Chains A and B, each alone.
Chain A
């Protein structure tokens, strides 16, 4: 996983709530068997409208998505995270993320930042008025900064440490091999087994 320390970039203000993962990446894109090449599927249906914010020339090259509440609801598809990253987003800001999407994003180094809706409103106003306005997401300081806005955000220390160092979860877990083996020793015999019966 790519490490995330701090990032500064222009924003895409997405004034929509309940952006589900079917909107982020429609199901027909899920037939691919790779982790890349999803950028053209990102918000595919909405991008058919030339006025959709992602299509505006002033938003090209933006790397910070500022979305409405309940972003990433629905399907567990990690493809939604890959699509956002493939397109070039480094971080997503919202008042509330769906649990599975949040977990997926942090495992891939896409930093999802939870801020109060009133701060999101301020960021929307700022970046709609001035598309060149930059937002800084600083994971070291756990702070989001933009012109006239300084807001701290929370992220549990363990997730933060993994992100700052770009650590691979599986290698970390495998350090606890002895614990896993000890647990397996005491599992009851009645637990289901797929290779029996």
Chain B
């Protein structure tokens, strides 16, 4: 019988297989950041161990880093200490590090792909659940805990039981104005936050094949929000085109050998998935979340659901608690929800294509009075690229704040946070209680919806902008 993409990549990395034991998997690329690595390095020190493969390891700083005044010392002493710990550990063990201020610094899941380190058929791990992002290249990429970070540093392997496989087949074509973010939010709402638990997802079908690499990364990024540790997309010409010429992409004969291998990384026609979900792309529209988990979402054209409408008691209770936390009334149209802050950025939607999409909508328009908008490139390189295209000027003229690269408002670890009760439309990946700051209320949206929402002051899609654009400077 044929094999799925996930099974092929898995099999190619088995170092040791024995009855009654998890497979021992080889790890091709280990990404590190400041938050989940300090205790792992401590463990190495305590046991007198070294980093086995420095040439397969790379670190950057993203979670704690401020996005303003990056040339000044970091104000929060605890954040500063954590960054200093990473620098000290990388120096002591010899790990390549791109610290704050370096041109290759950025959100770890934006840095790997842009350097060309994330390649089809590789295994990629990081102490961060959004490592699933790298699956967009046909890599088997998953988040790990700190004990596993230490394990990979010491052995370059991980003992893992092989997950099951699930196909998410997206038929048809996404309608005009519907993005990868809308698609993945709709998938999560459909299968639930636990729907992918125990599976590696493979996104496939005509709608997926048409997506750019950036859009594919947005999809795979949020596999974890559907409960799956990893999501993958088979590599194709779009993937090869994106990789060619990147700093760490193979060259010459190596490139040819690599592409020949990469072309084999497709699910065989006679392979069987353990589960399959089929989504009709043509039926989708802009999608937003109303609740406090990423599965609590609905089309923007819908209304806040009535908890009483849920048959399952646990879902009903969860919806009641969510509406209470979010300060929303059942039955209110989602478009009527006013926001205080709009955040464009993160490993989900902080790449150049996302910034271009938001800028195209904001050009010659203004952010609504009383709304704060933050635009945070996913990496320093993305920031430079955006500036070279004049996008920074578009954002600033619209009244948005243009920042330096980092995780920023995706999570409450750095100065960019919501105040209690403040409401955001955010292109990030988690709407958990307090995720963007204590008491903050988050609606997950696409960059396009974020930009339209910033202009109108309430949840909206670009189609709601009926104005003649305000000429710049007026």
Interface residues of A (CB under 8 A from B): 15-18, 20, 22-23, 26-28, 30-35, 45, 68-70, 73-79, 81, 96, 98-100, 103-104, 107-108, 117, 156-158, 169-170, 172-174, 176, 179-180, 183-184, 187-197
A-B residue pairs in contact (CB < 8 Å), sample of 27? A16-B321, A26-B434, A30-B35, A30-B413, A31-B35, A31-B76, A33-B82, A34-B42, A73-B193, A75-B129, A76-B144, A78-B36, A96-B197, A98-B194, A98-B227, A99-B197, A104-B146, A158-B20, A170-B43, A170-B49, A174-B154, A174-B155, A180-B156, A188-B261, A192-B119, A194-B117, A196-B55
Asked if B117 and A192 sit within 8 Å, CB to CB, the answer is yes
Residues of B contacting A197 in the complex (Cβ-Cβ under 8 angstroms): 247-248
Top 10 closest A-B pairs, CB basis? A104-B145, A33-B38, A78-B145, A190-B258, A76-B143, A190-B250, A190-B254, A76-B129, A78-B146, A107-B147
A78 to B151, CA, bound (A): 14
A108 to B39, CA, bound (A): 13
Asked if B147 and A78 sit within 8 Å, CB to CB, the answer is yes
B75 within 8 A of A: no
Residues of B contacting A195 in the complex (Cβ-Cβ under 8 angstroms): 54-55, 96
B64 within 8 A of A: yes
Asked if B81 and A73 sit within 8 Å, CB to CB, the answer is no
Tell me how far the C-beta of B29 lies from the nearest C-beta in chain A, rounded to whole angstroms. Answer: 6
A189 to B220, CA, bound (A): 27
Asked if A107 and B145 sit within 8 Å, CB to CB, the answer is yes
Residues of A contacting B147 in the complex (Cβ-Cβ under 8 angstroms): 78, 104, 107-108, 169
Total number of A-B contacts with CB less than 8 angstroms? 213
Residues of A contacting B42 in the complex (Cβ-Cβ under 8 angstroms): 33-34
A69 to B413, CA, bound (A): 27
A90 to B225, CA, bound (A): 27
Tell me how far the C-beta of B318 lies from the nearest C-beta in chain A, rounded to whole angstroms. Answer: 5
Asked if B258 and A31 sit within 8 Å, CB to CB, the answer is no
Q: Which residue of A lies closest to B259 (CB)?
A: A190
B239 within 8 A of A: no
Residues of A contacting B29 in the complex (Cβ-Cβ under 8 angstroms): 192, 194
B307 within 8 A of A: no
A37 to B63, CA, bound (A): 21
Q: Which residue of B lies closest to A1 (CB)?
A: B147
Asked if A99 and B159 sit within 8 Å, CB to CB, the answer is no
Residues of B contacting A176 in the complex (Cβ-Cβ under 8 angstroms): 15-16, 24
Tell me how far the C-beta of A49 lies from the nearest C-beta in chain B, rounded to whole angstroms. Answer: 12
A74 to B197, CA, bound (A): 12
Tell me how far the C-beta of A16 lies from the nearest C-beta in chain B, rounded to whole angstroms. Answer: 7
A68 to B406, CA, bound (A): 34
Residues of B contacting A189 in the complex (Cβ-Cβ under 8 angstroms): 254, 257
A195 to B448, CA, bound (A): 38
Name the interface residues of B12-53: CB closer than 8 Å to any CB of A.
15-16, 20-22, 24, 26, 28-29, 35-36, 38-39, 42-43, 47, 49
- In this complex, the member of B85, B314, B411 whose beta carbon has the largest number of chain A beta carbons within 10 angstroms is B314
B433 within 8 A of A: yes
Asked if B79 and A31 sit within 8 Å, CB to CB, the answer is yes
Q: A74-B432, A75-B411 are in contact. List 19 more A-B contacts (CB 8 A).
A: A16-B321, A17-B314, A18-B318, A31-B413, A33-B42, A70-B197, A79-B146, A100-B145, A100-B224, A117-B314, A156-B22, A157-B20, A173-B24, A179-B24, A180-B155, A190-B250, A190-B258, A192-B116, A194-B96
